[in-house]
Structure 1
């Protein structure tokens, strides 16, 4: 007996089947099937033949592959009794709960007293599949591994794409060939982390940014994850995501995975990217005021570091406002005796030496300039040299002899008194002053990974947001160390990297756009000499790279020449004039014929306008620029194309191509088949091209 279910959205169908009351399996996932497709046939059509050297029946690649079925690959669950003895469940189908675009499949192992539920939902507008697993037990058990419902991977794929990185070098792409066996990646530092963004993309053969088929996954959890992409001996492929193994340390009766987000695309990697961008922006992020324009950001960190002086900060605010800033963020150094990073984390009391009259004089000045005010916290951390640690050494996670990180330890967020204390201190600051923005930092990996730590942090943020619903929060963890859909259920912005090196940011932003929309991705104009790389970049390049995302400044505006200040004002004015339509735009990565060019097309929701950012990140191999093809335009529509910053062409650009002289009007077909021919430029140049449907 076979029971089947299907979930559909435009361009995508997911079919699940239960055979003989066993665990369900995904028997089809891909382009939309006709409404009248016989799902019983689909469930049987993919059955594998059996030959020598195999079991008489192929063990199912189910939503939770079972070791008890002699499954030859990684099981979807590894559990033990409270005494440590391995348990080998064998689940049977119990019931299905169906709703609009949603399905929950319930299974039970009566002998072991276990219940397993696989949840699936599909969003008709964003095209995103969301899935998670629950496990309950009649008795306390130990969980080593629980995968979110296991998804199949296509066999017409030669490679997989995932992302590694480091501090100031996040979102570096890895391309790995498929082969027999497992590619396993695991973040075990207690956060999603710079080195292990929790995602995987599986392009089918011939896919690119703009064309072909691709499948993509993201695990929405901030506490460390495990990813498995496995090819079985029989050729089948599975993808598993779950919490990092062994991080649910305490025996319990109930466990639940994070949400695994998955999407199929028949328009290349961009189809996956658009699904993630829209779902995050429109379904996951909770905006205090969705209709409010995103403000231009000024952060004082790289201008003053810990050297806070109210007179200097007021001057910085005045200069930032004159450049176009609309929010002023007071970074680390305002509390305790915080003159460097060795002391005072955890105390969260205003430093009277630096602020003898409190924050009110600075906030009044900032608000008098028409700006909002934000402030920095690092709530989960404590310095050994702090009043909090001296009073409560038992509040830390791990032993007192642990290796420090950035001169700090981690507070044990599983202890209710820790979270109560942090809530009280942060709540007091927010109630005493007109603050509507928090930069929430996390600068140290955990001494050991523990899922309860993340759950405690989530609960604290949820509690603060309930008390201060109009306060926005930025997730920062030494830059991009905690960027995932789990933290973004509770925050409205991410600080993608501590690097303000415009060349590095260009590539980091380009890769992150496979998952993140412009509206949540902070990007700042850094100092003339970058503090993390030592490189020097022209203000035009720095400004346009920042303008490609949620724009801000993070430098000392006193260093700007009058010409640099004017350039920054002009770019900022352009950003403000275009931010509202760009907040809902899709970021489409372009396939560049020149590998030195990193380019993207941001397209309005109605398709009537777009902007292309084309950054030259290296010296081209050929003399003249190659045409840059655009994507997803109406082939029959005419567009007016303008290079916004054509005056930036250097003197060595000696020719007279049309776009150096003014606008041109061409069809979408021409733009997609031939592309735009740009002026010659030096490396570290960003061309900005506007397109409007005529």
Structure 2
């Protein structure tokens, strides 16, 4: 779409900027400080804006003027909430008050420059409203216009939310238990969530959703936001005493970590946010399309290949002949990308040693990787390799040669705790950076490696570069390392893994292509993990593998239909030792891989949705396009009632008819009922309005079971 200057009425032209997208309007008031005064359904940009709409009363026993809820709240202006900026210059210039000096705007973008010459600071705020998906991108850049260094403590991104958004949804977790949702009351006070682990973290995803009390998956107003940042962060939601509410997000800086020299600048990570009047599905679908069109950068257009990873099959026991036998076996199942996991490099016989020595182990691979890769390629599969470049073990040739490359303050006599017997390399050290880039470049130049599983298996403790805190700098250096490697090898795809879902965010996704969602392959756990992750990320970047019957993280056993259907709605892979499985289990793997391939174009480009369920132990979700709906019904726990609930399909078109087909059911399905609903045993054609308003009676299902349905438009 061609950009054009925003149209405002002449009386308010110096005060308001009106941004628009497909379904959303954002009105910015410029004076006395830039603030979003409306964010919601699209309104007419041609109609004059009345200033009376935004004139606030001033109560007794308060300051004598109304204080705006600004993009950068300022204590110096009288905002008593969380400031948008904190810092000082030798104890001074600690409470700046910025004045607008320039504004440039188009139909969907605004750049606002503000200055406080007394404090020697200038801020440039950029807002961009994606015209197709309604997603807002916000960032600030702070420039030191003074003559001495400015010590920055905080630079936060602040967004107002509606007064009737009295609930919050946040995502919490831990290793193998990521992306669990909690819904909180948001009436008074606030909610603060901090991550200091040096990566995005399993514990606290940097995102929040503010919503009306009655908002569900299908209806209600809400705003969702996500900070695109792979390091320490703080996100919070606050209710002011006057009832106004806001969300705030920032990179969490350690003491002394950022000092801005005269003439230099500091930029925030980007904050991504979206308003929807169409419930949780509305923000989920908008984020999915935004990621597909504005974040993802696949090297070449192709279907997402089905993965096989060797980890649960061989662990550290690498033997080329056995690996080639595994490759032959999984190729028959339909696998398209074969990844050799940890244990391939010099002297790596367990997880206590050798990280950093990124050369192929000649004891295990006397002829190098070439025979293995050639065999895999001849079977029609792409070869991928596990790496963990940021890490080093003290029991490694690299550490013995360069102990000074380790991230930390050991040279001062401190001893940080190990994590999985490993530590981090200082990526801001140019020699360490160049060594890693050269090592990875050499591997990828010598061998036909199309894919890297980039892991990161510990948190940062006492992270320091030359004695100064280095969490923020380490994160930026990681981005530079990945970018430099991709510049040398533009066709490689990279998976972001950090003991599973410990580094999942939009910024790292700009330079990677897939997430390992969780180290937990237990299908029951994955149902909740993937449901939370899909609020922000589309299925094609969500690594979702069919695991073995016995989960190695929970020790639970599950029927193949639950494992297969759970893995179906992501980027599918398989974790198994094919040489140790019965033929029936291998056939089942092959069946679900084929089913995924059948629906893959729909799964990875269609519109995802979640349907509300009367039974909290039932998940109902799917993906659709104009011609077909693929729907999963998953019973997590024992059903609350003796009869199944009615499956109503309000997402269908009322003026069309649909062919209702059962694609897959649990093996023990017939044992739960004496009589099956007729639509399960025989394909039916039903009017969409009837499916929406009346619905189908669901069968009685065992706990921890799943079924798959399709609804196809009848011509």
TM-score strictly above 0.5: yes
What does residue 687 of structure 2 align with? 667
> Structure 2: how far apart are the matches of 1:676 and 1:221?
44
Question: In 1, Cα distance between the equivalents of 2:478 and 2:186?
Answer: 37
The residue aligned with 1:411 is 425
Partner of 1:263: 274
- Is residue 471 of structure 2 the alignment partner of residue 462 of structure 1? no
Offset of residue 86 of structure 1: 5.4
1:15 equivalenced with 2:27 (yes/no) = yes
1:633 maps onto 2:652 in alignment: yes
Deviation at 1:665, TM superposition (A): 1.5
Q: In 1, Cα distance between the equivalents of 2:207 and 2:391?
A: 27
SS at match of 2:205: coil
Contact preservation (8 Å) 2:181, 2:532: yes
CA distance in 2, matches of 1:631, 1:510: 20
Query: What do residues 116-157 of structure 1 show as CA deviations (whole Å, max 9, x unaligned)?
Result: 111011111122111111100124211111012x21012112
Cα distance in 1 for partners of 2:294, 2:256 equals 28
- Of the three residues 532, 537, 541, the one matched with 2:553 is 532
Find the partner of 1:93 among 92, 95, 100.
Answer: 100
Corresponding residue number in structure 2 for 1:397: 407
Shift of 1:647: 7.0
Find the aligned partners of 2:533 and 2:256 in 1 and give their Cα distance.
29
Q: Is the 8 A contact 1:270 1:588 kept in 2?
A: yes
Is 1:143–1:246's contact at 8 Å kept on the other side of the alignment? Answer: no
Q: Secondary structure at the match of 2:486?
A: helix
Q: Quick check: 661-670 or 412-421, which moved more? A: 661-670
Please say if 1:575 is aligned against 2:596. Answer: yes
Residues 248 and 666 of structure 1: is their aligned pair in 2 closer, same or farther, counting only changes over 3 Å? farther
Alignment of 1:201 onto 2:222:
no
Contact 1:203 / 1:269 at 8 angstroms: preserved in 2? no
Corresponding residue for residue 651 of structure 1 = 671
Match of 1:361 among 371, 378, 396: 371
- CA distance, structure 1, for counterparts of residue 85 and residue 35 of structure 2: 15
Match of residue 683 from structure 1: 703
CA contact (8 A) 1:281 1:519 kept: no
Q: Report the 3-state secondary structure (helix = DSSP H, G, I; strand = E; otherwise coil) of the residue aligned with 1:651.
A: helix
Tell me whether 323-332 or 389-398 shows the greater mean CA deviation: 389-398
Cα offset, 1:547, TM superposition: 1.0
Instruction: Give me the whole-angstrom Cα distance separating, in 1, the residues matched to 2:256 and 2:583.
Output: 56
Unmatched 5+ stretches in structure 1? none
Cα pair 2:561 2:665 within 8 Å, conserved:
no
Q: Residues of 2 paired with 1:396 and 1:65: CA distance?
A: 39
| Mapped pair 1:282 → 2:303 | no
Q: How far apart, CA to CA, are the structure 2 residues paired with 1:327 and 1:354? A: 22
Q: Establish whether residue 307 from structure 1 lines up as the match of residue 326 from structure 2.
A: no
What whole-Å deviation, never above 9, does each CA across 1:396-451 have from its counterpart, x for those lacking one?
A: 11123111111111111112221111000000000110000000001110114611
When structure 1 is superposed on structure 2, of 83-92 and 333-342 the one drifting more is 83-92
| Change in 2 beyond 3 A, CA 1:255/1:600 | same
Deviation at 1:458, TM superposition (A): 0.1
1:376 counterpart residue number = 386
Q: Distance in 2 between matches of 1:425 and 1:598?
A: 45
Q: How does 1:94-243 map to 2 (within 5 A)?
A: 94-139=101-146, 140-148=149-157, 150-243=158-251
Contact kept, 8 Å, 2:369 with 2:447, in 1: the verdict is yes
Deviations along 1:289-330, one digit per CA (max 9) or x if unpaired, are: 12x111110001111111111121111111111111010000
Q: Distance in 2 between matches of 1:191 and 1:37?
A: 46
SS at match of 2:287: helix
Stretch moving more, 561-570 or 10-19:
561-570
Distance 1:551 1:337 in 2: 31
Q: CA deviation at 1:484?
A: 0.3
1:214 positional shift = 1.2
**C-alpha contact 2:18 2:45 (8 A) present in aligned 1:** no
> Partner of 1:527: helix, strand, or coil?
coil
CA distance in 1, matches of 2:534, 2:711: 20
CA apart distance, 1:48: 2.7
d(CA) in 1 for partners of 2:459, 2:556: 28
1-side partners of 2:581 and 2:324: how far apart?
17
Do structure 1's residue 692 and structure 2's residue 712 form an aligned pair?
yes
Tell me by how many angstroms 1:36 deviates. Answer: 3.0
Q: Matched residues in 2 for 1:31 and 1:554: separation?
A: 45
SS where residue 143 of structure 2 aligns?
strand
- 1 CA distance for matches of 2:476 and 2:510? 13
Distance 1:124 1:359 in 2: 47
Tell me, what secondary structure is at the counterpart of 2:220? coil
Residue by residue over 1:144-185, the C-alpha shift from the partner in whole angstroms, topping out at 9 and shown as x without a partner, is: 11012x210121122100101000000011212113222111
CA-CA distance at 1:231 after TM superposition: 0.5
Q: Does the 8 Å CA contact 1:181/1:230 hold for their aligned counterparts?
A: yes
Change (3 A) 1:201 1:247: farther
Provide Cα deviations, 1:31-82, integer angstroms capped at 9, x if missing partner. 111233332x2x542333222221111322110010101211111110111x
Contact 2:153 2:258 in 1 (8 A): no
Provide, for residues 443-487 of structure 1, a one-character-per-residue CA deviation record: whole Å limited to 9, x for no partner. 110114611101000000001111111100000000000000011
**Aligned counterparts of 1:626 and 1:72: Cα–Cα separation in 2:** 50
Deviations along 1:581-640, one digit per CA (max 9) or x if unpaired, are 321112111111221111212012xx2211011111111110121012334321211111
**Which has the higher mean CA deviation after the structures are superposed, 392-401 or 436-445?**
392-401
**Aligned-pair distance for 1:674?**
3.0
- Are 2:221 and 2:275, in contact at CA under 8 Å, matched by a contact in 1? yes
How far residue 100 of structure 1 moved from its aligned partner, in angstroms, is 4.8
Q: Is the 8 A contact 1:89 1:109 kept in 2?
A: yes
| Equivalence for 2:42 | 32
The equivalent of 1:616 in structure 2 is 635
What is the distance in 2 between the residues matched to 1:351 and 1:316?
20
Distance 2:307 2:687 in 1: 37
Contact 2:665 2:706 in 1 (8 A): no
- 1:375–1:437 contact (8 Å) kept in structure 2: yes
Contact 2:19–2:106 (Cα < 8 Å) also in 1? no
Q: How many residues align?
A: 685
Cα offset, 1:544, TM superposition: 1.4
Q: Which moved more, 1:413-422 or 1:493-502?
A: 413-422
Q: Contact 1:226/1:245 (CA < 8 Å) preserved in 2?
A: no
Task: Give the Å deviation of 1:560.
Answer: 2.4
TM-score calculated relative to the size of structure 2: 0.94
Work out the CA distance in 2 between the residues paired with 1:385 and 1:670. 67
Measure the CA separation in 1 of the matches of 2:220 and 2:652: 17
Alignment match of 1:491 (pick from 487, 492, 512)? 512
Is the alpha carbon distance of 1:198 and 1:248 closer, same or farther for their aligned partners in structure 2, counting shifts above 3 Å? farther
CA distance in 1, matches of 2:334, 2:163: 51
How far residue 654 of structure 1 moved from its aligned partner, in angstroms, is: 2.1
Query: SS in structure 2 opposite 1:162?
Result: strand
Task: Please state how far the C-alpha of 1:247 moved relative to its aligned partner.
Answer: 6.8
SS at 1:198 equivalent: strand
Verify the 8 A CA contact 1:289 1:470 in the aligned structure 2.
Answer: yes
Asked if the contact 2:393/2:399 (under 8 Å) is kept, the reply is: yes
SS of 1:251's equivalent in the other structure is strand
Summarize the Cα distance change of 1:647–1:522 in structure 2 as closer, same or farther, 3 Å threshold: closer
